[in-house]
Amino acid sequence: MIKTGSQIRAARAFLGLRREDLAAIAGVHPNAVKYWEERTVPSGPLPYAVERMTTALRSQGIEVFADPKPGVRLVA
């Protein structure tokens, strides 16, 4: 589960995506990508935009992890 905005930024960097690119893949507004990249995601159910971005990033080969600390890696 994505927990920090830095995970979103790092995943975009791995994939070479601009905010607009991720927004298009995830079906969210580019401002939603910007908004969540600048924040810590609250615990509990993922906000809609974060859930969509997580799904989109996973479909592009990104694995999200939180142990020992939040991060991402490219697996495909």
Which pLDDT tens digit goes with each residue over 18-50? Answer: 999 999 999 999 999 999 999 998 888 889 999
Structure confidence at residue 7 (pLDDT): 96
Q: Which domain holds residue 23?
A: 5-74
The helix/strand count (H/E) of the chain reads as 4, 2
Say which residues have a Cβ less than 8 Å from residue 29's Cβ, sequence separation at least 6.
Answer: 23, 49
What is the tally of structural domains in the chain? 1
CATH number of the structural domain spanning residue 65:
1.10.260.40
In angstroms, the Cα distances linking 17 to 14, 22, 42, 66 are: 8, 6, 24, 22
The structure's pTM equals 0.91
Structure confidence at residue 58 (pLDDT): 96
50 vs 75: CA distance, rounded Å = 20
Cα separation of the two ends of the chain: 18
